[in-house]
């Protein structure tokens, strides 16, 4: 259906251009309200003109310059194509007749500052305001019919800023950027201008084309561009401002986007989360104790086997409903008996005996260390350890008393076994 509409629009455009069967023509005119949409052009902004797919708006900057601007007007007339011309005030003062030619040919006359400063965004805001206002005044004077140019303005080099845009908005002006350029202001060939225009338009699918009517390369490239646009199914759209007698073309907000979200995409139509009025914080029910009563007594039960000796999986221990006693009964729990904390007598004796054995072992080790030290001291003073009178049978070395009343005799046992002599001899050597 879209292809049929495109073909029909092109046929009508060609029919409106008698004597030029290959003309692309102008498919339609749209009326825009600058106050409703103060900025357009995706080279700088999120919005552009409300164009359909394969629609192009032709724009030309920096004129009028008779040598080349007049040739541009002749090429457009041969194709019955309408465009928007952003004229420089100083050029309009020097060539007022060129301004009127643009108007008389049915194109839209717009402004492009007074002196075309290259860094307008770096100028003081008062100077930028003066550039815009003087440019409008010069073009208005060149028209010489009491009418003003369209409230469309393009900042030189697209070098704008927030202050310039706010001032333009306060004056009811629409700031135009572009959707794609052809770089015809650079030192490139006409073939390069043609290639860039078509390549970038194909990448965008539609939009505002930025050209210059003061460049010889643009004059050479424009006929090829218009011819290729028609071959590829593109259509020319003319843009005019709204007036009290000419209301704006009805549009929807998505149409002002270069690529609006598709109606087939679920995300673009996803319902928004509603905002509910809540009287207070939500109160969640407390969990029931019976929900936490897991019965695990049958976890180890084996179920019958089935099929070639493969055991069936055990039954899952899901919670079961259990009837609990009343809450009052649960609150009054019995006090544990004192007998639960008593340790049996046999266990206490076992603990004491273990402590006594550990104490006796410690005392024996300490006595052996003391005896060895004394024997070593006597040897150093020339007394042999063997001249010591033997201990009588009734004499016993007193060992420290342990925790359980058990005593040890480390010195007597060491002498009977001859260990003290050997230990002293080892220490002497």
**DSSP-assigned states of every residue in 139-196:** HHHHH-SS----SEE--GGG---HHHHHHHHHTTPEEE--SEE--TTSS--HHHHHHH
CA angle at 56 for the pair 114 and 166, rounded to the nearest 5°: 40
By the 8 A CB rule, do 26 and 82 touch?
A: yes
Active-site option among 61, 62, 179, 213:
61
Tell me how many helices (H) and strands (E) the chain has: 12, 12
61 carries an active-site annotation: yes
145 carries an active-site annotation: no
- Taking each helix axis as running N to C, give the angle between helix 162-170 and helix 125-143, from 0 to 180 degrees, rounded to the nearest 10: 40
- Residue 26 burial class via C-beta count within 10 angstroms: exposed 0-12, middle 13-18, buried 19 and up: buried
Distance CA 330, CA 334 (A): 10
Nearest Cα residue to 158 out of 40, 51, 47: 40
Active-site option among 37, 79, 116, 212:
212
- Residue 335 burial class via C-beta count within 10 angstroms: exposed 0-12, middle 13-18, buried 19 and up: exposed
Nearest Cα residue to 236 out of 49, 63, 1, 46: 49
By the 8 A CB rule, do 151 and 174 touch?
A: yes
Active site residues: 61, 212
């Amino acid at each position: 259906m879209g292809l049929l509409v495109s073909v029909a629009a092109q046929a009508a455009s060609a029919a409106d251009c008698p004597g030029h069967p290959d003309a692309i023509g102008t498919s339609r005119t749209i009326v825009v309200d600058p106050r409703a949409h103060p900025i357009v052009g995706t080279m700088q902004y999120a919005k552009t003109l409300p164009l359909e797919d394969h629609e192009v708006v032709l724009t030309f900057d920096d004129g009028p310059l008779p040598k080349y601007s007049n040739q541009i007007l002749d090429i457009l007339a041969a194709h019955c194509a309408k465009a928007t011309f952003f004229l420089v005030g100083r050029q309009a003062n020097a060539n007022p007749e060129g301004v009127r030619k643009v108007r008389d040919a049915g194109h839209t006359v717009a402004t492009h500052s007074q002196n075309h400063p290259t860094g307008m965004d770096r100028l003081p805001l008062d100077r930028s305001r003066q550039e815009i206002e003087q440019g409008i005044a010069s073009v208005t004077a060149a028209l010489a019919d009491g009418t003003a140019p369209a409230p469309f303005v393009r900042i030189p080099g697209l070098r704008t800023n927030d202050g310039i845009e706010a001032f333009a908005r306060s004056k009811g002006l629409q700031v135009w950027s572009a959707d794609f350029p052809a770089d015809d202001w650079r030192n490139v060939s006409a073939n390069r201008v043609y290639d860039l225009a078509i390549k970038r338009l194909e990448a965008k699918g539609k939009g505002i084309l930025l050209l210059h009517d003061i460049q010889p390369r643009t004059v050479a490239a424009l006929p090829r561009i218009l011819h290729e646009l028609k071959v590829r199914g593109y259509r020319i759209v003319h843009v005019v401002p709204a007036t009290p007698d000419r209301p704006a073309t009805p549009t929807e907000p998505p149409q002002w986007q270069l690529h609006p979200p598709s109606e087939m995409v679920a995300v673009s139509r996803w319902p928004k989360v509603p905002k509910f009025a809540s009287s207070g914080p939500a109160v969640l029910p407390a969990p029931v104790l019976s929900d936490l009563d897991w019965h695990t007594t049958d976890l180890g039960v084996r179920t019958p086997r089935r099929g070639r000796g493969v055991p069936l999986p055990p039954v899952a221990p899901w919670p079961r409903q259990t009837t609990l006693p009343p809450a009052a009964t649960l609150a009054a729990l019995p006090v544990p008996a004192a007998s639960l904390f008593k340790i049996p007598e046999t266990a206490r004796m076992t603990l004491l005996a273990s402590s006594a054995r550990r104490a006796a072992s410690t005392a024996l080790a300490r006595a052996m260390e003391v005896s060895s030290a004394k024997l070593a001291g006597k040897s150093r003073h020339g007394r042999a350890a063997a001249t010591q009178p033997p201990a009588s049978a009734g004499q016993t070395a007193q060992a420290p008393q342990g925790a359980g009343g058990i005593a040890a005799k480390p010195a007597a046992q060491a002498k009977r076994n001859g260990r003290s002599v050997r230990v002293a001899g080892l220490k002497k050597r």
